[in-house]
């Protein structure tokens, strides 16, 4: 199904936007488990550390009844990393991915990702407390550009420190965005990390997300992300040229009208 068909039908499906290509369990086993638990789509993600070249997107032979997307997650620490992501200037492979996610390494780069960089998702490394402040102005700029913020629930299940950092950040972002523009993904390396969409979304209640917003974290917002990413890839610009009118012709026409009267 084309992402634009989802937009035309105003249909939202449950999509996990972060299923790592390489995990402890085989990708086929994880996709099969996701289908059994009620997911409708998945984005197969490739992680690119700072300073590394962006590889070509993977080719997935079997979808197990899921709508599959390709995603690249780029760690953006230096200005060179930012240049590589911005509009795909130095990497043709970047534009071959369906979804582009960035992980900013500083407050300045975070602000640039929110305001200028061509991306669809902004994620965070929550192994430690975020080394910069997330400011309301930057968050608002991202939402205006249809850039959303991502949290991964599998790390919350395994690591108490990541859970604490994630809940605190999600709470702040929820207040700033009025609980809009937030996506919950799995980042599941094991089949045991995967939860059903409704079970996963209820984890965000720990960050005081209202109950009526929880379903959007795994359905409406991920679907909008896929649709907006497709529009970003296929958008085109046009320049309209108009012939400049000679001002003397207007004067001559006005004189003719005066003589006729």
Mean pLDDT by 10 residues, the chain (261 residues): 59 94 95 96 96 91 93 93 71 86 94 92 92 93 96 93 94 94 96 95 95 95 94 68 57 52 52
Q: Are 178 and 208 in contact, with CB atoms under 8 Å apart?
A: no
CA–CA distance, 90 with 77 (Å, rounded to integer): 16
Q: Mind listing the domains of the chain with CATH numbers?
A: 3-260 (3.20.20.140)
Going by C-alpha positions, the residue among 12, 18, 16 that lies closest to residue 216 is 12
Per residue in 43-64, pLDDT (tens digit) is 999 999 998 989 999 999 899 9
Max intra-chain CA distance, the chain: 90
Interval 177-225: pLDDT, tens: 999 999 999 999 999 999 999 999 999 999 999 999 999 999 999 999 9
pTM, two decimal places = 0.85
> Which H, E and C letters describe 102-133, residue by residue?
EEECCHHHHHHHHHCCCCCEECCCCCCCCCCC
CA distance 259 to 255: 6
């Amino acid at each position: 199904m084309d992402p634009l068909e989802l937009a035309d039908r105003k249909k939202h499906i449950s999509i996990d936007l972060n299923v790592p290509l390489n995990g402890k369990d085989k990708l086929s086993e994880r996709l099969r488990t996701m289908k059994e638990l009620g997911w409708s789509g998945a984005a197969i993600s490739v992680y690119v550390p700072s300073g590394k070249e962006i590889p070509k997107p993977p080719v997935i032979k079997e979808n197990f009844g899921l709508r599959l997307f390709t995603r690249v997650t780029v760690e953006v620490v230096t200005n060179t990393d930012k240049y590589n992501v911005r509009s795909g200037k130095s990497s043709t492979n970047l534009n071959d991915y369906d979804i582009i996610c960035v992980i900013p390494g500083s407050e300045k780069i975070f602000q640039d990702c929110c305001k200028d960089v061509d991306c669809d998702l902004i994620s965070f490394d929550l192994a430690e407390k975020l080394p910069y402040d997330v400011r309301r102005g930057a968050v608002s700029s991202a939402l205006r550009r249809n850039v959303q913020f991502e949290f991964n629930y599998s790390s919350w299940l395994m690591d108490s420190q990541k859970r604490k950092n994630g809940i605190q950040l999600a709470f702040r972002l929820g207040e700033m965005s009025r609980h809009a523009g937030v996506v919950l993904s799995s980042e599941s390396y094991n089949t045991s990390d995967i939860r059903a969409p409704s079970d996963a979304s209820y984890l965000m209640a720990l960050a005081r997300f209202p109950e009526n917003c929880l379903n959007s974290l795994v359905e409406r917002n991920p679907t909008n992300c896929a649709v907006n990413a497709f529009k970003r890839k296929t958008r085109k610009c046009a320049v309209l040229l108009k012939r400049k009118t000679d001002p003397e012709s207007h004067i001559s026409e006005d004189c003719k009208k005066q003589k006729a009267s």
